[in-house]
Structure 1
Amino acid sequence: MLRLSRCYSLASIKFVQNQSTVFRPEYALKCGLEIHTQLKTRNKLFSQSTNSATPLLDTPNSHTSFYDIALPGTQPELNWEAVLFAMKLSLALDSQVNTISQFDRKHYFYGDQPQGYQVTQHYRPFARGGKINLSKELDGIDELSKDISILQLQIEQDTGKSHYTNADKDVVTLVDLNRSNVPLIELVTNPDFSDIKQVRAFIKKYQNLVRHLHISSGDLETGAMRVDVNLSINEFARVELKNLPNTSSIINAIKYEYQRQVGLISKGETSSLMESETRGWTGSSTVKLRSKETTIDYRYMPDPELPYINLAADVISGVKGIMPQLPDDIMKMLMQKPFELSLKDAKILTYNSNQNDMYDHEALRSYYLKTFHEFSKLVDEHSSAKLPTNWIIHEFLGDLNKLRIPLSKAQKILPPVVFAEFLKLLHAETISPTSSKLLLFHILETFKQSKCQDLSIPDFPRLIKEFELHAIDNVDSQELIGLCNDIIVEHTDDAFVRNLVSGKKKTSLKFLIGQGMRRSQGRIKPSEFEKQFKEILNIQW
């Protein structure tokens, strides 16, 4: 199945390259999403079975109970942790949590649904309303700001998984019930999306939100988050798109379906667009699976074995009181004074990709903020604010990834107060940036060689003296003049010098200083080179 998904991705790439999708105003796209999110509870929704983080990768049927396999006579018992997670997500989305919600049975018959129905919330969902705001500044959409409104959130149980194989020329269906009864939140948006950028931004933002709240891994690839798309063109009947394993498949399926429907409308062949239908994504095209079921088809009924979820008002306010600061607010804070991070750097500290096992965004952000404040105590100048950003987000993280050292271990020898002392040496030009990179990598490499067991705090003055990394305070003036002249001769021409001297290309001076730092192996201060180059070239600005 993983191999099939990989083939889909390749086909999707080929499809995008061969066909250019233009969303035209006379063919208005109207799109909504249904997102099923597996919750990271300890147990399943209505049983004491272990809720595995990777149910489809574990030994089939190894995380099941009598209730999960629908043994007659077994009864459900609600896992209140799932209710807590649903409440946290609802509050983060500014949704209205219903003080009374109920569970209903949605009847349909598949081999991987042994009960013959799925327990969901049709009549009284857990929460209604709410929104996710997308903006041009933070999310890269075309509009300055756009709210994607939420119709409802409901708690429901997941189904099992059917696997099809050939045996003696017959198709054999194998059923794995590890996923059966895993708790889900189904989020349904209103059809507020009108272009691809909005859909992509929403999925990424929602994915980061559930990770930020610690309620789900949010991984599309493992099925922890599954997205169905509902779309229509020019108010024709809604089409549901299923079998969308990742973001690229979601985007490419929307593009293909948009082109397909526009083609039918432009030819006057709209009869097939009058009826709602469900279509699947093959990796290169959408194909009809069935006509869209109606509410009557599912024969919804209140579940007689499950009582209402009845929440007191102080329970909701209590959970609201322990909610963490939300990602957008954190990013805006990081992009303002005193931090003034770029959007890219702010996202590194805020967005959890769930793919880098060297650190998670919360631990990294905490480390950065503590180091920044410790450094601020040592240095008052505002111009030094970028040092923690550059050295933690870029140099330090780069070394951790290269050496495969988790942040949780590295910060034992370089806690924020120690890293702030390291930055102070840089700020005071006691050691050059070039030498600092060598020193930082040496410290971490030595720690790695000890199998992360040597927890000695580095003695920076001793190491600088031992490896002769300190900046040269008393530079031989004749040696410096000769070095600068050599650089000017080798790397400049008349036009270069004229533009530099006139101030037309001031950045050229940084190039010359960089060459000097490289030649001196970073031991001569940049300010010495700048002073000497200006003197030789008679630069007045």
Structure 2
Amino acid sequence: MLRLKRWYNVDKIQTSKFKLLPQYKLKCGLEIHTQLNTNKKLFSQSTNDPFHSLDTPNAHTSYFDIALPGTQPILNYEVVLYALRLSLALDSKVNLRSQFDRKHYFYGDQPMGYQITQHYSPFASGGHLTLHKDGDGINDIEKKINLIQLQIEQDTGKSIYRDNEKQTLIDLNRSNVPLIEMVTQPDFTDLKQIRAFIKKYQNLVRHLDISTGDLETGAMRVDVNLSVNDFARVELKNLPNTSSIMNAIKYEYQRQVKILEAGEGEEYLSHSETRSWNGESTVKLRSKETTIDYRYMPDPELPVISLSADVIEGVGKSLPPSPDEILSQLMTKPYSLSLKDARILTISGNSQDGIYSQVELLKFYLDTFDCYSKIVEREGLGEVKHKLPTNWIIHELLGDLKKLQIPLEKATAILSPEKFADFLTFIHSNKISSASGKLLLFHVLEDFQAHGLTKQINFDELIKEYELQTIDQVNEADLKKLCQKIIEAADSKMINGIVSGKKRNSIKFLVGQGMRSSQGRIQAQQFEDMFKELLCSNNE
């Protein structure tokens, strides 16, 4: 037993040096609880807003949520619709008849003494989510993660422990919030697959607009079932974020490997157990011998959910294209995006600072691209520059919004997709340079932040007012004089490097100085041509 204590020593298990060993096969499955963002709770008329009232505990509760004797559950059918959308998006088989059951246990944050869930006849079964090497960053070309079932259940309240005061506070704002529990098959064999699946599932529920999918707020909570070399599975709980999930799996895998290497697998890994993650190590909660008897029974106060095939078919037809389908679409004509930019628009999720949601950003891009393409065609401005909307939305607009802390949704009051497309055509046709465009865009947003103006922007008038038009016919003598002045002020070593060809790219520095001096009104190519002409003549 002394050796076994050393195996549990955190110092002996370093997750930073984690490596899967070929002789010790990892097998994982996930149980993901997803809070639905319906207007009301699952079985009551309480507002479903458990996280926007953190300063006011128990503010979003009804008599049923606090288990007042005599109250009865009334099913919120919006939850059924959300469950149906997710099930069909995952290609699961929706059961035409599913039922609710009572799962009995006694905690302070579960005042009824039982949780209403679906144990005997869940909402849906089967289905899958497929991961891809290019889109999801896994090692395999393709990996299908099969699902066991999806079930509807109610969330519990929240216990807040105060060690210094030796008391536990109960907040029931979260009680009866609707959840979907999704259980996968143990198809995961490495950590990249697990990380990719969680991110892809998060993106899917956000894409379907049924949940925020945020791990940090508890809107999505993940439990891991793990085994090594097909020994009994260990369930890992209390995993608040992705890094905790990854570190807990690393620790538990290495813990079990150490036990197997010592030849103690039959003794210590033959029984299922549940373990908690404390931030440094997994800690045993209970084993098979101490498994709770939940005494499941059909809930006598709730009817069976009965669905017709026509309803399922109708909801299926109303689903948007999947994120994978949109990703593929964005990488082909007319958008022709790179994988990196397409992922930003479809997979990256919500910005951490709340500036935009992935759904908002994708819609803004698609609408802007459509408007921009139509203007280019209508005005006879040549070919559509497919990279122009992407670069200006992802790299310039979002950068300005983050710097000024203006949400995208709010900014569309003055910069609608139509108006932003209008702005892009000025750059497309070289009426203003990119440098001037950056200055103008930031000025418009900064002015909006300061004064809160909601009138539509007239870019044509602003360009004339600030004299930002590019100069098509540049006086060659004046341009030559300006370039010569910049060369004379520059570092002689850099100039010699440009002339000799050793530092050829340094000419971009000179071009930048010229653009700054002309306030971006003279095209960069004109500066570059003049600098080359002058440097070549000086060299001769």
TM over 0.5: yes
Instruction: Please name the residue that 1:318 is paired with.
Output: 314
Distance 1:50 1:26 in 2: 52
What RMSD in Å do the two structures reach over aligned CA positions?
Answer: 2.7
1:68-467 mapped onto 2 (5 Å cutoff):
68-166=65-163, 171-270=166-265, 271-292=267-288, 297-350=293-346, 351-353=348-350, 355-379=352-376, 381-382=382-383, 384-450=385-451, 452=452, 454-467=453-466
Instruction: Please name the residue that 1:11 is paired with.
Output: none
Contact 1:56 1:179 in 2 (8 A): no
Deviation at 1:511, TM superposition (A): 5.4
Contact 1:45 1:181 in 2 (8 A): yes
Contact 1:16 1:252 in 2 (8 A): no
Contact 2:498 2:504 in 1 (8 A): no
Question: What's the secondary structure of 2:412's corresponding residue?
Answer: helix
Distance 2:54 2:483 in 1: 62
Instruction: Please name the residue that 1:34 is paired with.
Output: 31
Distance 2:446 2:27 in 1: 54
Deviation at 1:191, TM superposition (A): 0.6
Q: Deviations over 1:28-79 (max 9, x none)?
A: 1000100111111222222222222417825333333332233333322211
Contact 2:41 2:176 in 1 (8 A): yes
Give 1:462's aligned amino acid: E
Distance 1:49 1:414 in 2: 37
> CA, structure 1 residues 344+22, in 2 after alignment: closer, same or farther (shift >3 Å)?
same
> CA, structure 1 residues 115+466, in 2 after alignment: closer, same or farther (shift >3 Å)?
closer
Contact 2:67 2:112 in 1 (8 A): yes
Give 1:161's aligned amino acid: K
Contact 2:15 2:251 in 1 (8 A): no
Instruction: Please name the residue that 1:517 is paired with.
Output: 515
Distance 1:134 1:291 in 2: 33
Question: What's the secondary structure of 1:217's corresponding residue?
Answer: coil
Deviation at 1:223, TM superposition (A): 1.3
Distance 2:501 2:178 in 1: 66
Give 1:31's aligned amino acid: C
Q: Deviations over 1:505-533 (max 9, x none)?
A: 98666555444323433221123124334
| Farther off after superposition, 43-52 or 149-158 | 43-52
Q: Deviations over 1:129-156 (max 9, x none)?
A: 1111111111111111111111100011
Structure 2: segments with no counterpart, 5+ residues: 1-10
Distance 1:441 1:167 in 2: 50
Distance 1:316 1:478 in 2: 74
Give 1:446's aligned amino acid: D
> CA, structure 1 residues 485+18, in 2 after alignment: closer, same or farther (shift >3 Å)?
farther
Question: What's the secondary structure of 1:373's corresponding residue?
Answer: helix
Contact 1:106 1:299 in 2 (8 A): yes
Give 2:75's aligned amino acid: L
In structure 2, which of residues 60, 63, 70 is the aligned counterpart of residue 63 of structure 1? 60
> CA, structure 1 residues 404+354, in 2 after alignment: closer, same or farther (shift >3 Å)?
closer
Distance 1:35 1:296 in 2: 20
> CA, structure 1 residues 296+20, in 2 after alignment: closer, same or farther (shift >3 Å)?
closer
Question: What's the secondary structure of 1:298's corresponding residue?
Answer: coil
Q: Deviations over 1:232-280 (max 9, x none)?
A: 0000110000011111100100011111111111111221111110001
Q: Deviations over 1:168-227 (max 9, x none)?
A: 7xx433332222222110000011111111111111111121122121121212211111
Deviation at 1:497, TM superposition (A): 3.8
Distance 2:351 2:270 in 1: 42
Give 2:168's aligned amino acid: T
Contact 2:99 2:120 in 1 (8 A): yes
Give 2:433's aligned amino acid: S
| Farther off after superposition, 479-488 or 397-406 | 479-488
Give 2:250's aligned amino acid: K
Contact 2:50 2:174 in 1 (8 A): no
Question: What's the secondary structure of 2:230's corresponding residue?
Answer: coil
Contact 1:136 1:145 in 2 (8 A): yes
* Count of aligned residue pairs for this structure pair: 518
Give 1:342's aligned amino acid: S
Contact 2:158 2:171 in 1 (8 A): yes
Instruction: Please name the residue that 1:3 is paired with.
Output: none
Give 1:523's aligned amino acid: R
Distance 2:480 2:496 in 1: 20
Distance 2:386 2:397 in 1: 16
Instruction: Determine if the alignment matches structure 1 residue 46 to structure 2 residue 47.
Output: no
> CA, structure 1 residues 313+441, in 2 after alignment: closer, same or farther (shift >3 Å)?
same
Instruction: Please name the residue that 2:475 is paired with.
Output: 476
Instruction: Please name the residue that 1:528 is paired with.
Output: 526
Distance 1:197 1:338 in 2: 32
Distance 2:15 2:273 in 1: 27
Deviation at 1:434, TM superposition (A): 1.1
Deviation at 1:163, TM superposition (A): 2.5
Give 1:352's aligned amino acid: G
> Please, what TM-score do these two structures have when normalized by structure 2?
0.89
Distance 1:470 1:482 in 2: 21
> CA, structure 1 residues 267+336, in 2 after alignment: closer, same or farther (shift >3 Å)?
same
> CA, structure 1 residues 206+429, in 2 after alignment: closer, same or farther (shift >3 Å)?
same
Question: What's the secondary structure of 2:413's corresponding residue?
Answer: helix
> CA, structure 1 residues 68+55, in 2 after alignment: closer, same or farther (shift >3 Å)?
farther
Instruction: Please name the residue that 2:6 is paired with.
Output: none
Give 1:57's aligned amino acid: L
> CA, structure 1 residues 494+456, in 2 after alignment: closer, same or farther (shift >3 Å)?
same
Q: Deviations over 1:467-495 (max 9, x none)?
A: 22222223232333344456667464556
> Please, what TM-score do these two structures have when normalized by structure 1?
0.88
> CA, structure 1 residues 150+56, in 2 after alignment: closer, same or farther (shift >3 Å)?
farther
Contact 2:231 2:269 in 1 (8 A): yes
Q: Deviations over 1:68-95 (max 9, x none)?
A: 2333333222111111111011011111
Contact 2:34 2:181 in 1 (8 A): yes
Structure 1: segments with no counterpart, 5+ residues: 1-13
| Farther off after superposition, 518-527 or 252-261 | 518-527
| Farther off after superposition, 177-186 or 484-493 | 484-493
Question: What's the secondary structure of 2:457's corresponding residue?
Answer: coil
Distance 1:254 1:286 in 2: 9
| Farther off after superposition, 437-446 or 224-233 | 437-446
